[in-house]
Amino acid sequence: MVHYITTHNATGAAIFSPKVPSQTPKIPIPIGEIQILSSTHSFPANLSTESDIEQYQQDRLQPFFAGLRRICPENGSATCMISMDAGAESTFHRTMTLETVVVIEGEMEMELDSGEKRLLKVGDSLVQRATAHKARNVTPNGGRAKWVAFIQSVEEPLRIGDKELGGEWAH
C-alpha cells in the first residue's frame, strides 16, 4: 500500500509532503497487524505548521500511542488500518474514543459487552462510541479481515446514568 500526505508549499499551493516515506510500516499486534495512517496530538489539528507531520513520523513506527486510549493520542485523533489474522479474536476492551470503522476486506463480527453482535462485511461501517466491545474475524475460508478506523479522543470520564466508565484495555 502506498501512502501520501498533502501539505502546502511556501506560497500556499497544495503539494505532496516529501517528509513521509510512501510506505507505511505494518506493525505486529496480538490479532494481526496495524498501520498508523495519520495522527494528531491536538483536536482540532493546527495545520498552519507541519508539526503534525513531524509527530506522525514517530507515531507511524509504534503499534500503540502513549496513555490510556492506546489507539489514539490523548486529546488527538488517528487513522489506523487494522488487518486481523484468520480466526483471530480480540479481548473485550473499551477505548475512550469515538471511532468510525469501515470494513475494506473480509468479514468481522463485533460483539458488545451486552452480548449483542453484528456482522460487518466489505463496505459496512460502524460508529463505536466508547463502548466495551471485541472483534472476531469470521471471514470464510480462512481469509483476513481488514478495516480502517477514523478515531477521535473523547472527554473523560464517560457518565451513563449513575455509572462512570473509563478505558479498559487488556493488551
In a domain, 76, yes or no: yes
Could you give the CA distance from residue 148 to residue 115 in angstroms, rounded to a whole number? 24
In a domain, 33, yes or no: yes
Kindly state the cell numbers that stand for 74. Answer: 490523548
In a domain, 9, yes or no: no
Structurally, the chain folds into a number of domains equal to 1
- What digits encode the pLDDT tens for the residues 121-150? 999 999 999 899 999 999 999 999 999 999
User: Higher pLDDT residue, 163 or 88?
Assistant: 88
Could you give the CA distance from residue 125 to residue 79 in angstroms, rounded to a whole number? 15
Contacts 24+ apart (CB under 8 A), 40-45: 40/73, 40/76, 40/77, 40/78, 41/73, 41/74, 41/75, 41/76, 42/75, 42/76, 43/75, 43/76, 43/77, 43/152, 43/153, 45/76, 45/77
Q: Is the pLDDT of residue 94 over 80?
A: yes
Q: For residue 64, give the CATH number of its domain.
A: 2.60.120.10
Lowest mean pLDDT among 21-30, 46-55, 68-77, 162-171: 162-171
Expressed as residue numbers, the domain containing 52 is 23-160
Q: What is the pLDDT of residue 83?
A: 97
